[in-house]
Amino acid sequence: MSSSQRLWLRDPIAVLAEGAERGLIVSDGVIVELVGATGPQSTYDLVFDASRHVIIPGLVNAHHHFFQTLTRTHPRAINKKLFPWLQTLYPIWGRELTRDAFRLAVRVALAELLMSGCTTTTNHLFVFPADMPDAVDIEVEEARALGIRIALTCGAIDLGFEEGGIADRRLMQDHDTVLADCERVLSLYHDPQPGSFTTLALAPCAPFNVTRPMMVETAALAAKHDRRLHTHLAETEDENDYCRQQFRCTPVEYLEDCGWLSNRTWLAHGVHFNEDEMRLLGGHGVSVCHCPTSNMLLASGTCRTVELEASAVSVGLGVDGSASNDSSNMMEAVRHAMLMGKLRYGAEAVTHLDALRWGTRGSADVLGRFLLDDLRFSGAGDPLVRGPQRRPGDGRRTLACRRWPTGRYRSRTAPIDAWRGRQGLSLGSVACTRYQSGQIASKTRRSLLIFRLLLWPRWVPTPPRRTRSNPNGSGHRQISHDEGTARAPELLASLNVQ
Tens digit of each residue's pLDDT (9 = 90 or more) over 101-135: 999 999 999 999 998 989 899 999 999 999 999 99
In the sheet that holds 118-122, the strands lie side by side as 59-61, 118-122, 149-156, 198-204, 229-233, 265-269, 287-290, 315-317
pLDDT 10s digits, 199-240: 999 999 999 899 999 999 999 999 999 999 999 999 999 999
DSSP conformational letter for 375: P
pLDDT of residue 173: 94
Instruction: Give the mean model confidence (pLDDT) for residues 160-173.
Output: 88
Reference 136, options 184, 71, 204; nearest CA is 184
pLDDT of residue 456: 27
Q: If DSSP codes are grouped into helix, strand and coil, which group holds residue 153?
A: strand
- Better pLDDT: 336 or 453: 336
Reference 93, options 269, 323, 383, 345; nearest CA is 323
Reference 115, options 59, 57, 54; nearest CA is 59
The model's pTM is: 0.78
Average pLDDT, the chain: 78
Lowest-pLDDT range of 57-61, 252-256, 393-397: 393-397
- Better pLDDT: 423 or 358: 358
pLDDT of residue 3: 63
pLDDT of residue 139: 97
pLDDT of residue 38: 94
Domains in the chain, please, with CATH? 6-57+373-492 (no CATH), 59-367 (3.20.20.140)
Q: ∠21-25-26 over CA atoms, to 5°?
A: 140
pLDDT of residue 60: 92
- Cα(first)–Cα(last) distance of the chain, in Å? 17
pLDDT 10s digits, 174-201: 999 999 999 999 999 999 887 788 999 9
pLDDT of residue 308: 98
HEC profile for 251-314? HHHHHHHCCCCCCCEEEEECCCCCHHHHHHHHHHCCEEEECHHHHHHCCCCCCCHHHHHHCCCC
CA 57 – CA 316 distance, rounded (Å): 14
pLDDT of residue 289: 98
Residue 371 has pLDDT above 50, yes or no: no
Q: Categorize the per-residue pLDDT at 478 as very low, low, confident or very high, splitting at 50, 70 and 90.
A: low
In the sheet that holds 410-414, the strands lie side by side as 14-15, 53-55, 451-455, 410-414
pLDDT of residue 477: 52
Which residue(s) pair with 268 in the sheet? 232, 289
- Better pLDDT: 299 or 484: 299
pLDDT of residue 88: 94
Burial (CB count within 10 angstroms: exposed 0-12, middle 13-18, buried 19+), residue 265? buried
- Cβ-contact 201, 230 below 8 angstroms: yes
